[in-house]
Each structure stands twice: as C-alpha cells, then as structure tokens.
C-alpha cells in the first residue's frame, strides 16, 4: 500500500486536532503577547512580555496560583484517604451493600453549578439551615463562605463531598482485581488486618491510586463552575483560583491579553502536575 | 498530559469564541427600515416583559409598518453577547439595551454606539423631561449615546413597627442613621439594626451615596479620590454600620450582594436597609416577604455635604454603530422612550426616566404612595449621575474601591486600606481605556 495513503486516512482527525486544539493554543499564546480589549475596531497592540512581567509582579496572581495548588493538593489528598476508606468498607459483604454503593455515588451525578447553588443556600450565614442546625446544638454560627479565613476550606469540603465517590469508585474497581490467594497466604502466615492492608492492599492498589489521583488532580486544578457560582472568587479574592482570575480578567475586565497569559501559565502548571504524576505512575507500574 | 490538552483547549475555545466573532467586511448603514425589520437586543428584564405584555411592538408595526424583532438574554450574558454581536462586521443589530454606568464607556471606546444628538434636540422627545442624573449617565464627553429607559436611586427602607417601638424618627441624616441602627440592633432577638451589601465589588454602587454625602467621589479631575478624608470617613461609616449593627455572624455580609441582603431584610432579620429603589418588588411580594405591611420608605439620608444620592439610568437604549437601519433605529427609540410609552411602562412597575411620569397619578399607581413620595423627594435633590467610578474598566475599579469597604467591615485599618487602594486606582487610571 502507498505509504502516503495513511496520511490521507488520518487527515480528518489531524485536521480536527489542528482546528480544535493546536490553533486555539497558538492563538492564546499569541494573544498573551498582546493588549486587547475585545474590540475589532481597536486592533490588539503587541506588548511583548509585558503581560507576563505584570503577572509576576501581581500579588493577586501569585496568591491565586498558590491557592490553586493548595485547593488541589488538599482536596485530592482528603478524597484519596476517604475514598479508599469507603471503598474498603463497601468491599465487604453486608446487607444493603448494593443500595449503599448507589447512594454514595449520588453527589457525583449532580451538576456542579446546581450543587454550588444548593450549598450556597444551605450555608447562608444568616438564614441558612446549616447555621440554624449548629446554633440549635448550642454551637456558634459560622460565616462559612463569607469569611476570608473559612472560604477556601469550605469550598474544599464541598469538593470533597462531591468527588470522594469517584475515588471510591476507582478504588473499588482496583480492589476487585486484587488476587485473593495473596491475602489467604498472608493470613496463613499470621499477618494481621493492618499488615495485610499495609503490605498487600496499598502496594497492589498503587497504580490504581496514582491513576485516580492524576485524573482527579487535573480535574481539581481546573475547578471553575462551583467556585464561580458560590463565591465568584471572594471575599477579597480569598477563593480566587487561576481559572477564576483568568475569567474575571478576560470577560469582566476585558483584558484579553493578560487573561491569555494567565491561561498559558495555568497550562504550564497542569503540565507539570501531569508529568510528575505520570512519572509516579510509571514507577508504580514497574513495582507491579 | 492526555487529559490536559482537551481541558485547556476547552478554555481556549471560550476565548476564541469571543475573538473570532467577526471576519469580513464592515457593513454599511442604509437609511430606513420602514416596512422592514428592526433588530433589538435586550436583557430579560421587567422592561422587556412590560414592552411585550403591553403589545407595544405590534402597535409600532401598525403605526409605521416596521416590525421590531426582539432577542433577549439573561442580564449576566447580555454583555458577553453584545461583545460578540456588536463586533461582528455584518451585524444585524440596530438597537441595543445596555447598562450605561457599567459598560457605557467601554462600548463607546470600542466604537460600538453612535451619538444620539438629533434625539436630544427633538422638541417632541423633550430631553429636559428626563431626570438629571440619568441624562448625565448616558452622556460621555458631552455626547449622548443612549436614551434612558430604566432608572435607579438609592433610598432607605425601614421597618415602621420597629422604629415606632423604640420611638425613633425616620433618619434624615447619616448621623441619625448610625444612631438609629445602634438603637434598633437587637442581636439576642435576631434582628440586626442595619443591612446593606457587603460583597466587595457589588457594594460599591450602594456605598456611593454615602461617599457623596460626605463630600467625596471616586475620581476627581481624573485622579483617584478614594484616599481623601471625606472618602475615609464614608468607608468608615459604611463598614462600621455593617460590622457593629449588621447581621451575625461577623463577616456574614462579606458575600452579600442585593439578593442576599434583601433576603435578610424580607425575612424580618434587619430593621433598616439602604439599596436601590429598583429592588422594591421583592419586598412587596407577600409570597417572598414577611414585612410587606410594615415597610417604610425614605429618601437617602443627608451627609455633611447634603443628601446627594446617586440617580442613574441603569438601562438605556443605544444604536449600534453598525446598525443596518440607523435612522429607523433612532425613530424607534424616540417612540418607545416617548412620554406616553414611558408612562405606560411605568404603570407596569418599571421605574422610568421621565419626571412627567413620576408626577402623574397614572404613572405612580403601580407603586406604594410612600415609595413614590420618597422617590419624588429624591428627584428634587441634587443627585449624582453615577453610582460607580466613571471609567472604561468598571469591573476592576469596583474591585479596588470594594477592597476598602471590605477592610472596613472587617474592622481593619481603613486609612491604610484606602491608601493601598488609592495606589491601585492611580495605577489603574494610567492604563484605563488605553
């Protein structure tokens, strides 16, 4: 067969990739070197590295970068531990296990913006039911999303609430593939429950867990909808992640050049996360 | 990495959509649409609803032969939609509904709106019948770019029974307001003395009337004025009202825009509330409000510099610079914003821009009598024609000003916060619109 023909067969997919991915990325990179207010009658102005220089001197940008990483690492770590714990519980046979497995997945199925708005009502500090409940128990009312101190932990809590089920699901799938013989052999040799968990489950589940962490981390890094719907990045930028800052800079402040620079930096961060986790994954793969 | 690429490209595509709206030749304007179709883009706003329910567009078609087709968007999406549509070289849009205080300067800078000089010179249109503030809101560098259709003033809402119980007069000055808030504040009973917006950028518009009352402004002679003694006093008063007499727990107001503040007020959990007069419908609806029969209205209290609340055109109609039927678009605007039609729309509870409608019995019967009295009293004041900084990048300037409001609510050093924000605003003004 003509060797060139294979390029022809691949061309629709190649064309799609170029149009839908390569072009927007290159366009964004170019835009990040320009100053543009979104008007076609006022052409974009070439400003070189100005947008990047401004960002590096911008405390709000640096804070948003740190916050994005804190949010991701914090939420995903809790989700991993809780997800694994719940998966271990659900793996044992008990009455109503099917029902429990279904119920626990429910948060995963809801739309993030709808979840955000529902939590927003529940956590309303003055008229919300959560504060009514805790003051009813004699505890002090909490400002939740209104306080600069508690807003990020509250958002992480909601992320944990929504995404722990996904970790559970992935861990359950991983647990199902573990060989029963190993456990039996270990039990015969007198290994206790903790030893079996520490020496067998964790190492064998390693690849599954790194894959789960990789997927979830990239997802958490780009969290936008739930934060935007609930706080819009406030109060005083204290829940502003890079995505929110980029959106506000572009679509509320009409500084598309600077917004593009933020997106480029964000892209690099995702890239670093992905590479590190992929490396970990391949190492675990060798162990297996 | 495999995941990263689609994730990112989704983001980039969003930017691309805004960017790629137009590629081609610029359209030309013809003169008349009579017998043709005029395209109007609006917000999903009570004004639009009232225009539809009154059948005004059918009436216009019968009278002139011009069909007006409406496309409307949620308020939040309208700006993005307009950004795309007004950019498009072969734009079909003739008339746009826009928010002059928020995006007027941006639209004019981008060359999206045409001047409406002939309209203001038209005797039958009677430009002088429009309230002072709203006329200023749609005027940029002495040129008028929009016809006001919906207007807004800041007023004081209060609970009659609570003031009566404590023997408190309705506050006439900002000092009275602070004193009344202190007396009315009943934390154990769960009723705050005062409520208002505390969310950074959103609070700025309602803070503005306090600022003017103390003799300050956001920008004076092109320079930041938020670090003046007057401004610092205003920041301090606004913040301490919410900090000391606002709803609990502390900082609860920091995420409150008007829907959240309104919810606290209509639940009966606050005694006084300063905000725009346009949100009154939510208080009068007995389904949503526990305080409908206990509601009092008063003009915004006076500060040392007098009562100078904002009075703005929150919405206006403008003609797109690329309108295919510019002349017909102007004719339509002069008709829909005429005395007769503004009166009709106001009967549907849309607060209009014309003095004649507010002084007529017909034009005010959709509103409570005390509310009308408070509004008419406001219109007699020397109102201010803007409720936020008059700049191109309004969103950023609101963030800067709002940071001082938040610091004040949190009980931080107001002077230090104002100095820091002053530096930011000065820096911002150097590049704004450039």
pLDDT tens-digit readout, B147-157: 999 999 999 99
The per-residue pLDDT for B5 is 45
The per-residue pLDDT for B420 is 95
On the question of pLDDT at B17 being above 50, the answer is no
Note whether A235 contacts B249, CB cutoff 8 Å: no
On the question of pLDDT at B23 being above 70, the answer is no
- What are the φ/ψ torsions at residue B392 (nearest 5 degrees)? -80, -50
Say if A187 falls within a structural domain: yes
Closest Cα in chain B, distance from residue A260 (Å): 8
Closest Cα in chain A, distance from residue B342 (Å): 31
Q: What is the pLDDT of residues B174-195, one digit of tens each?
A: 999 999 999 999 988 889 999 9
CA distance A167 to A164: 5
Q: Does B22 touch chain A (CB under 8 A)?
A: yes
Placement of tokens 């809801």 in the chain: A110
On the question of pLDDT at B300 being above 50, the answer is yes
Say if A66 falls within a structural domain: yes
Note whether B396 contacts A253, CB cutoff 8 Å: yes
CA distance B296 to B164: 11
pLDDT band at B249 (very low <50, low <70, confident <90, very high): confident
CA distance B212 to B233: 11
Q: Which residues does chain A have within 8 Å of residue B247's beta carbon, measured at their own beta carbons?
A: 125-126
Report the range of poorest mean pLDDT among A111-115, A190-194, A254-258, B18-22: B18-22
Closest Cα in chain A, distance from residue B431 (Å): 11
Q: What is the pLDDT of residues B33-65, one digit of tens each?
A: 445 889 999 998 889 989 999 999 999 999 999
Q: Are B379 and B308 within 8 A, CB to CB?
A: no
pLDDT band at A41 (very low <50, low <70, confident <90, very high): low
Q: What is the pLDDT of residues B108-126, one digit of tens each?
A: 988 899 999 988 998 899 9
Note whether A39 contacts B249, CB cutoff 8 Å: no
The per-residue pLDDT for B9 is 43
Note whether A39 contacts B87, CB cutoff 8 Å: yes
The per-residue pLDDT for A210 is 87
Q: What is the pLDDT of residues B372-399, one digit of tens each?
A: 999 999 999 989 999 999 998 898 999 9
On the question of pLDDT at B313 being above 70, the answer is yes
Say if A206 falls within a structural domain: yes
- What are the φ/ψ torsions at residue B6 (nearest 5 degrees)? -65, -35
Q: What is the pLDDT of residues B60-94, one digit of tens each?
A: 999 999 999 999 998 878 888 888 888 887 788 99
Q: Does B416 touch chain A (CB under 8 A)?
A: no
Note whether B87 contacts A37, CB cutoff 8 Å: no
Q: Which residues does chain A have within 8 Å of residue B267's beta carbon, measured at their own beta carbons?
A: 126-127
The per-residue pLDDT for B88 is 80
CATH number at A241 reads 1.10.3720.10
Name the nearest CA neighbour of B9 among A20, A285, A40.
A20
Placement of tokens 């500060």 in the chain: B303
| Residue of A27, A126, A222 with shortest CB distance to B16 | A27
Q: What is the pLDDT of residues B336-355, one digit of tens each?
A: 999 999 999 998 888 999 99
pLDDT band at A1 (very low <50, low <70, confident <90, very high): low
> What is the domain range of residue A137?
47-287
The per-residue pLDDT for B24 is 33
pLDDT band at A274 (very low <50, low <70, confident <90, very high): confident
- Between residues 15 and 74 of chain A, which touch chain B (CB distance below 8 Å)? 20-21, 24-25, 27-28, 31, 37-42
The per-residue pLDDT for A92 is 85
On the question of pLDDT at B1 being above 70, the answer is no
Average pLDDT over residues B287-311: 94
Note whether B6 contacts A21, CB cutoff 8 Å: yes
- Between residues 185 and 244 of chain A, which touch chain B (CB distance below 8 Å)? 214-215, 218, 222, 231, 234-236, 243
The per-residue pLDDT for B69 is 93
The per-residue pLDDT for A91 is 87
On the question of pLDDT at A119 being above 90, the answer is yes
Note whether A215 contacts B3, CB cutoff 8 Å: yes
Name the nearest CA neighbour of B197 among B390, B401, B379, B375.
B401
Mean pLDDT of chain A: 88
On the question of pLDDT at B254 being above 70, the answer is yes
Give the count of alpha carbons within 13 A of A84, CB side only.
Answer: 16
- Between residues 97 and 126 of chain A, which touch chain B (CB distance below 8 Å)? 124-126
On the question of pLDDT at A217 being above 50, the answer is yes
Note whether A234 contacts B255, CB cutoff 8 Å: yes
CA angle B195, B198, B204 (to 5 degrees): 110
Q: What is the pLDDT of residues B153-169, one digit of tens each?
A: 999 999 999 999 999 99
Q: Does B267 touch chain A (CB under 8 A)?
A: yes
Name the nearest CA neighbour of A110 among A99, A121, A118, A101.
A118
The per-residue pLDDT for B110 is 86
Say if A60 falls within a structural domain: yes
The per-residue pLDDT for B3 is 43
Q: What percent of chain B has pLDDT over 70?
A: 92
Q: Does B106 touch chain A (CB under 8 A)?
A: yes
Q: How many domains does chain A have?
A: 1
Residue B27 vs residue B194, higher pLDDT:
B194
Say if A21 falls within a structural domain: no
Say if A40 falls within a structural domain: no
Q: Does B173 touch chain A (CB under 8 A)?
A: no
Q: Say if strands B37-43 and B67-73 run parallel, antiparallel, or are unpaired.
A: parallel
The per-residue pLDDT for A207 is 85
CA distance B90 to B325: 13
Structural domains for chain B: 31-152+312-380 (3.40.190.10), 153-309+390-431 (3.40.190.10)
Find the closest chain A residue to B192 by CA distance: A126
Mean pLDDT of chain B: 88
Counting beta carbons within 10 angstroms of the beta carbon of residue A58, is it exposed (0 to 12), middle (13 to 18) or buried (19 or more)?
middle
């Amino acid at each position: 067969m003509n060797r060139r023909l294979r390029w022809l067969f691949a061309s629709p997919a190649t064309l799609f990739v170029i149009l839908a991915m390569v072009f927007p990325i290159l366009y964004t990179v170019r835009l990040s070197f320009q100053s543009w207010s979104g008007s076609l009658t006022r052409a974009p102005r070439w400003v070189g590295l100005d947008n990047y220089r401004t960002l590096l001197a911008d405390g709000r940008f640096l804070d948003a970068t740190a916050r994005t990483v804190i949010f991701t690492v914090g939420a995903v770590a809790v989700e991993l531990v809780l997800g694994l714990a719940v998966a271990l519980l659900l793996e044992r046979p008990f009455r109503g296990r099917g029902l429990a497995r279904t119920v626990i997945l429910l948060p995963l199925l809801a739309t993030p913006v709808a979840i955000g708005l529902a939590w927003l009502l529940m956590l309303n500090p003055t008229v919300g039911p959560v504060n009514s409940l805790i003051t009813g128990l004699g505890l002090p009312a909490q400002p939740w999303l209104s306080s600069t101190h508690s807003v990020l932990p509250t958002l992480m809590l909601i992320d944990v609430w929504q995404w722990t089920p996904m970790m559970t699901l992935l861990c359950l799938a991983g647990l199902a593939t573990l060989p029963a013989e190993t456990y039996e052999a270990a039990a015969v040799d007198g290994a206790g429950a903790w030893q079996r968990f520490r020496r067998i489950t964790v190492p064998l589940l390693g690849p599954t867990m790194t894959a789960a962490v990789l997927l979830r981390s990239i997802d958490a890094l780009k969290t936008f909808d739930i934060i935007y719907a609930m706080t819009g990045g406030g109060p005083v930028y204290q829940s502003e992640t890079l995505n929110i800052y980029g959106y506000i800079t572009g679509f509320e402040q009409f500084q598309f050049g600077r917004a593009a620079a933020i997106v480029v930096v964000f892209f690099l961060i995702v890239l670093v996360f992905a590479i590190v986790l992929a490396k970990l994954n391949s190492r675990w793969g060798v162990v297996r | 990495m495999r995941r990263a690429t689609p994730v990112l490209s989704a983001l980039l595509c969003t930017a691309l959509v805004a960017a790629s709206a137009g590629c081609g030749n610029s359209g030309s304007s013809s003169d008349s649409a009579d017998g043709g179709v005029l395209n109007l883009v609006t917000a999903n706003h009570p004004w639009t609803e009232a225009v539809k329910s009154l059948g005004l567009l059918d009436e216009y078609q019968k009278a002139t032969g011009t069909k007006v087709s409406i496309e409307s968007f949620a308020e939040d999406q309208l700006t993005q939609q307009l950004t795309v549509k007004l950019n498009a070289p072969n734009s079909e849009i003739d008339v746009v509904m826009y928010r002059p205080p928020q995006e007027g300067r941006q639209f004019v800078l981008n060359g999206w709106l045409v001047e409406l000089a002939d309209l203001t010179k038209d005797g039958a249109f009677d430009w002088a019948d429009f309230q002072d503030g709203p006329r200023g809101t749609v005027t940029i560098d002495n040129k008028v770019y929009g016809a006001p259709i919906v207007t807004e003033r800041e007023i004081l809402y209060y609970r009659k029974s609570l003031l009566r119980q404590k023997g408190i007069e309705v506050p006439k000055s900002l000092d009275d307001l602070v004193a009344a808030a202190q007396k009315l504040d009943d934390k154990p009973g769960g009723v705050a003395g005062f409520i208002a917006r505390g969310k950074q950028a959103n609070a700025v518009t309602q803070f503005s009337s306090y600022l003017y009352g103390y003799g300050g402004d956001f920008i004076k002679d092109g320079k930041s004025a938020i670090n003046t003694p007057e401004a610092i006093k205003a920041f301090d008063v606004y913040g301490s009202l919410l900090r000391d007499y606002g709803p609990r727990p502390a900082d609860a107001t920091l995420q409150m825009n008007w829907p959240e503040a309104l919810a606290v007020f209509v639940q009966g959990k606050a005694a006084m509330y300063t905000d725009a007069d346009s949100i009154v419908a939510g208080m009068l609806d007995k389904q949503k409000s526990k305080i409908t029969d206990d509601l009092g209205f008063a003009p915004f209290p006076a500060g040392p510099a007098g009562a100078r609340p904002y009075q703005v055109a929150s919405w206006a109609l403008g003609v797109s610079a690329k309108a295919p039927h510019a002349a017909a678009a102007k004719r339509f605007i002069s008709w829909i914003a005429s005395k007769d039609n503004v009166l009709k729309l106001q009967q549907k509870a849309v607060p209009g821009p014309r003095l004649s409608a507010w002084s007529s019995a017909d034009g005010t019967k959709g509103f409570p009598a005390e509310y009308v009295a408070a509004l008419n009293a406001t219109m007699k004041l020397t109102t201010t024609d803007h409720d936020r900084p008059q700049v191109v990048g309004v969103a950023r300037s609101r963030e800067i000003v709002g940071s001082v409001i938040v610091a004040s609510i949190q009980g931080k050093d107001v002077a230090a916060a104002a100095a820091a924000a002053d530096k930011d605003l000065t820096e911002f003004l150097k590049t704004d619109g450039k």
